[in-house]
């Protein structure tokens, strides 16, 4: 009996999530992952006028998938004139919309909620605005994602998990998604 109790206590103490802060100097961000993330890069087809753009990503899995990726907009740092700066803002908005559409398509063409404005923290204490939305697919997966940009780079931060019908399942997803998304800090 004591052996079963001890096994029960040890298993109750072992964390399901091993949260760790990951700093990505090349990506200019920090974020908390629930496990050691994998890193990958791939070319993403984003249509005209972008064509293929390289997305660098980190992801980790537990019961949910946690991922962050970023894409640099070619020529976005050319702010030598007001026209170039306006062009850069328009291209960033279009790139974010294309990334959102691609994520939804990967989730069996799920429909997202209307974007909500969120505050994204910066390492120097400043804050910037970003967007957050959530979607549920027909195969009962749910995604919550942040989209932000800084200096010609677009970030996509997402958590994908199973849609739960019970309150406990929804609270769990809300808790881990909030911890991951709210830990995102831009350098």
Question: Exposure string (b/e) for 15-36, b if CB count within 10 Å is 16 or more?
Answer: eebeeeebebeebbbbbbbbee
Q: What is the pLDDT of residues 72-117, one digit of tens each?
A: 877 655 555 565 566 677 888 888 889 888 888 888 767 888 889 9
Q: What is the pLDDT of residues 124-152, one digit of tens each?
A: 999 999 999 999 888 888 899 999 999 88
């Amino acid at each position: 009996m004591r052996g079963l109790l001890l096994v029960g206590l040890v298993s109750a103490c072992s964390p399901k999530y091993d949260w760790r802060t990951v700093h990505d100097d090349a990506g200019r961000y920090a974020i908390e992952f629930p496990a050691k993330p994998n890193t990958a890069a791939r070319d993403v087809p984003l249509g005209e006028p972008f064509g293929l753009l390289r997305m660098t990503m980190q992801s980790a899995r537990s019961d949910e998938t946690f991922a962050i990726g970023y894409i640099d907009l070619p020529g976005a740092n050319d702010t030598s004139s007001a026209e170039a700066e306006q062009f850069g803002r328009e291209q960033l908005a279009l790139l974010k919309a294309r990334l959102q559409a691609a994520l939804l398509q990967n989730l069996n063409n799920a429909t997202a909620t209307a974007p909500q404005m969120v505050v994204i923290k910066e390492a120097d204490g400043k804050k910037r605005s970003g967007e957050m939305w959530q979607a549920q697919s027909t195969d009962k997966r749910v995604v919550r994602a942040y989209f932000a940009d800084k200096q010609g780079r677009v970030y996509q931060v997402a958590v994908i998990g199973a849609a739960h019908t019970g309150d406990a399942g929804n609270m769990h997803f809300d808790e881990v998604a909030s911890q991951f998304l709210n830990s995102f800090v831009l350098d």
